[in-house]
Structure 1
Amino acid sequence: MGFSADVHAARLDRARHLAADAGLDAVVVGAGPDLDYLVGVEGDTIERLTALVMPATGPATIVVPRMELAKVRDTAIASLDVRQADWVDGDDPYALVADAIPAGARRIAVSDALPALHTVPIGERLDVRLELATPVLREGRMIKDAAEIAELRRAGEAIDAVHRQVPQLLHAGRTEREVADDIAAAIMASGHRTVEFVIVGSGPNGADPHHEVSDRVIGDGEIVVVDIGGAVPSGYNSDSTRTYVVGSPDPSAAERIDVLVRAQQAAVDAVRPGATAEEVDAAARGVLAEAGLADAFLHRTGHGIGLSVHEEPYIARGNQIVLREGMAFSIEPGIYFPGEWGARIEDIVVVTADGAERLNVTPRSLTSAG
């Protein structure tokens, strides 16, 4: 599913204005989420250059290998004021980039997804010191429009449907990998087009926030962290974590997870236009600190989400970015006890005019499975 040409035209126009306001003469956007956001062209960076050259004024140009031209023409590009400059092996695509940039341009920025393989030749061809376009491109993607929020809601509903199945999949005697394989199948069956990640962290593995899956056999009474997500057909991502127990939990573990649930709620309650990312992080951290669990919280409270699973804004200590309506990000505090167990609760929220809308609605308390 793609967005209409009108949506992409508005995004391009906004990006041009942001570039001009930043004093940039042109922006070069490589293959990746930024290119998908601006003109609907999907794909990852490869050795053959695909790039959108966007002057601060005037029409943009997409430089694309001829073998990819048909795919590009089957996107919003066909209805946008974007010129097409194709090339074949043996041609110099960097000359096409230079031709698309106004004469005399000196401040040229590139997207952060454009690798050195292409950035260095572009800089040499233009004889300028390239800048990062991140401040310009980030600004557009951070504020989701109504169509993007609808897709994030769709993704949230789909991943919630998967979490509702987890208690039937999670049993003592199964391995983390066996459970993860079933969850991956459920993610695809729920309407996702890709499985981006499946984390099943049982017992002591749950105490590692970066654990994915292993062949460890899940035991009775163990706490299990299940963090899952994928992209729906539009490319927008889901990401939700719930913590389960196989059978009955240790009472002290259940009490600490209750505190974690309260910490996650406090962070959600702190979300509103005008608040800072740091203040939201502090809300979760404060509840945990009051319960003596501050040292068990090892990471930031959240990350932005959209065409990338992780994007700005980041909900972390020291980040004083001011929240605005339309921003979308995770709220996911966790507590981790090495060698024992861990827990994390994660929802995606969207900043509304007066607070936050949760996009995940499955129960956040410790959920029995098996």
Structure 2
Amino acid sequence: MALHFTEAEFAERRARLTARMAEDRLDAMLLFAQESMYWLTGYDTFGFCFFQVLVVKADGSMTLLTRSPDLRQAKQTSTIDNILVWVDRMNADPTVDLRNLLNDLDLLGMRVGIEYDTHGMTGRVARLLDNQLNNFCETIDASYLVSDLRIIKSAAEIAKVRQAAALADGALDAARPLIGAGRSEAAILAAMQAAILAGGGDYAANNFVIGSGEDALLCRYKSGRRVLAENDQLTLEWAGASAHYHAPMLRTLVIGQPSPRHRELFNAALEGMKAIEQVLRPGHTFGEVFDVHAKVMDDRGLTRQRFNKCGYSVGARFAPSWMEHQMFLAGNTQEILPDMTLFAHMIIMDSDRQTAMTLGQTYLTTATAPQALSRHPLELILA
């Protein structure tokens, strides 16, 4: 069995989950989010793109219903003992198998929480599931129950995020010598990914972002590579990943002579990050983090150029995104507590003047000031 955490750690997580289920009067949970299954049991796969579900009863017993390719995967990577397989066939409806399983588990008429808001649950599956359970049990949308438990990291989890942050730093180190006029984005991207994999890390939950010239204003991955010009800009967003725990970083680098607008936007980004560090601590909320970011940008006349969020919680995540659901958004009342791992960023995109500037890194919250997990300073990088 290949586990990244001890049996005691998994037992403590299961105890936290069942305690929360008791508070919410849930007789069972249907976990469809891969990160929930991974956090609770160590189960590691990309088979969640097909139908599978982990049933957790109030007494802590667990049953995984999955496809045959993931039977051995679950046995080898998780603490799950009871694994059932639904059979692939034309027009199969695995929610029928699930209903039969729930009946065997004496959950008829019981109160059952379901993770609806996850990439492991398609709209088709949700409709089939609701149809099967409509007259079987009382269903509760419990999409964020496990996610909320996961937002506070254990010491073992923090160690994984620190490893991920070191891998992210190593990726930037590998990229720096390759950034300059006449150099290819392809070589830069390959070096960053190679540094993380060679360092014992994982593929990140979403593609790294790389774009130069006008594409430096994009904040999503796109296909196609470009050669850097004499005077250019390059936006990179990447994450180190260790045992699926992520530590993202974000930078816009300038090739050649930075324009006055580049320097102006960098100063705004740096001021925003420093302002965030003052409220990224207990006694404040995720919404307040966004508010100080917005004030810095708005006071500098950058309302149109800023985004409507400035970061989010990070941890163990699977494709298609390394973002956890708690984000720095206006009105988010989630409190900042010690032992959270949070990615804060400044993204300023001036389409009128075709100028990009970004800055971001991962922090560990403490009882007082946050700890930046990157060893790289928040500075304007010139190449």
TM over 0.5: yes
* Corresponding position of 1:192: 201
Quote how far apart the aligned CAs of 1:246 are: 1.1
* Corresponding position of 1:42: 44
Q: Any conservation in 1 of the 2:44–2:78 contact (CA below 8 Å)?
A: no
| Cα separation, 1, equivalents of 2:37 and 2:346 | 31
* Corresponding position of 1:345: 359
Are the structure 2 counterparts of residues 229 and 336 from structure 1 closer, same or farther at C-alpha, using a change threshold of 3 Å? same
SS at match of 1:344: strand
Quote how far apart the aligned CAs of 1:136 are: 1.2
Root-mean-square deviation (CA, aligned residues, Å) is: 2.4
Quote how far apart the aligned CAs of 1:105 are: 0.4
Are the structure 2 counterparts of residues 241 and 343 from structure 1 closer, same or farther at C-alpha, using a change threshold of 3 Å? same
Deviation by residue 1:190-227 (Cα, 9 ceiling, x = unmatched): 33221442222223222223354633332223222111
1:109 aligned onto 2:123: no
User: Percent of aligned pairs with the same residue?
Assistant: 24
Q: Which amino acid aligns with 2:186?
A: R
Q: Which amino acid aligns with 1:199?
A: V
Deviation by residue 1:37-95 (Cα, 9 ceiling, x = unmatched): 111111235576432111223522222445533322223415xxx54444545796321
TM-score of the aligned structures, taking structure 2 as reference length: 0.86
Q: Any conservation in 1 of the 2:315–2:324 contact (CA below 8 Å)?
A: yes
Counterpart mapping for 1:281-360 below 5 A: 281-308=290-317, 309-338=322-351, 340-360=354-374
Residue among 260, 273, 276 paired with 2:285: 276
| Cα separation, 1, equivalents of 2:8 and 2:211 | 44
TM-score of the aligned structures, taking structure 1 as reference length: 0.89
Are the structure 2 counterparts of residues 165 and 248 from structure 1 closer, same or farther at C-alpha, using a change threshold of 3 Å? farther
| Cα separation, 1, equivalents of 2:109 and 2:176 | 63
* Corresponding position of 1:153: 162
Q: Which amino acid aligns with 1:337?
A: D
Are the structure 2 counterparts of residues 67 and 230 from structure 1 closer, same or farther at C-alpha, using a change threshold of 3 Å? same
1:240 aligned onto 2:249: yes
Residue among 333, 350, 366 paired with 2:380: 366
Deviation by residue 1:321-370 (Cα, 9 ceiling, x = unmatched): 1111222221101111115121111111122112311112212211112x
| Cα separation, 2, equivalents of 1:328 and 1:130 | 32
Are the structure 2 counterparts of residues 243 and 69 from structure 1 closer, same or farther at C-alpha, using a change threshold of 3 Å? same
Of residues 185-194 and 236-245 in structure 1, the stretch that sits farther from structure 2 once superposed is 185-194
Q: Any conservation in 2 of the 1:230–1:237 contact (CA below 8 Å)?
A: yes
* Corresponding position of 2:7: 5
Q: Any conservation in 1 of the 2:262–2:357 contact (CA below 8 Å)?
A: no
Q: Any conservation in 1 of the 2:207–2:221 contact (CA below 8 Å)?
A: no
* Corresponding position of 1:207: 217
Q: Which amino acid aligns with 1:181?
A: A
| Cα separation, 1, equivalents of 2:311 and 2:334 | 13
Specify every segment of 5 or more residues in structure 1 that has no aligned partner in the other structure, as ranges.
Answer: none
Of residues 215-224 and 314-323 in structure 1, the stretch that sits farther from structure 2 once superposed is 215-224
Specify every segment of 5 or more residues in structure 2 that has no aligned partner in the other structure, as ranges.
Answer: none
Are the structure 2 counterparts of residues 47 and 288 from structure 1 closer, same or farther at C-alpha, using a change threshold of 3 Å? closer
Deviation by residue 1:274-315 (Cα, 9 ceiling, x = unmatched): 201111112222222222223221241101111121003201
* Corresponding position of 1:227: 237
Of residues 331-340 and 129-138 in structure 1, the stretch that sits farther from structure 2 once superposed is 129-138
